[in-house]
Amino acid sequence: MLINLQAAWIGFFLGCVSGAIPGLLFHRTEWMGGYDSWRRRLVRLAHISFFGLGFLNALFYLSAKSLGIEDAGIASILLLLGAAAMPLVCYLSAWKMVFRHLFFIPAMSVTIGIALLIWAIL
């Protein structure tokens, strides 16, 4: 489960990088089709997902460690999958809209991972 903490910090770093690069161009009104465009919204969602899922993985690690939960391997893997898949699916969907059909992968993996942790806590 240490890998979840490592993934969290990698996610925070990637969140900074993925925000800095588009941040250089965000002042252009029509960049990526304008503020409300599909592409620009998905790039913003990818950026914030690095942080959000990073926090979730960090909280998972701290919760499991503080509660002495050692049998949470599947939950750990699912949260890692979600942290990797969400920004990837966002970027792919910004590139080609057809990839939006893959959002169930990160959404379900994180949802089931959280449910398994709740089950372990109860």
Give the rounded percent of residues in the chain with a pLDDT score beyond 70.
100
Q: Report the pLDDT value the prediction gives residue 92, as an integer from 0 to 100.
A: 98
**pLDDT tens figures, 82-120:** 999 999 999 999 999 999 999 999 999 999 999 999 999
Cα 71-75-77 angle, rounded to 5 deg? 105
Closest among 40, 42, 48 to 19, alpha carbons compared: 48
DSSP 3-state of 110: helix
The answer, as to whether pTM is greater than 0.85, is yes
Query: Would you say residue 43 has pLDDT above 80?
Result: yes
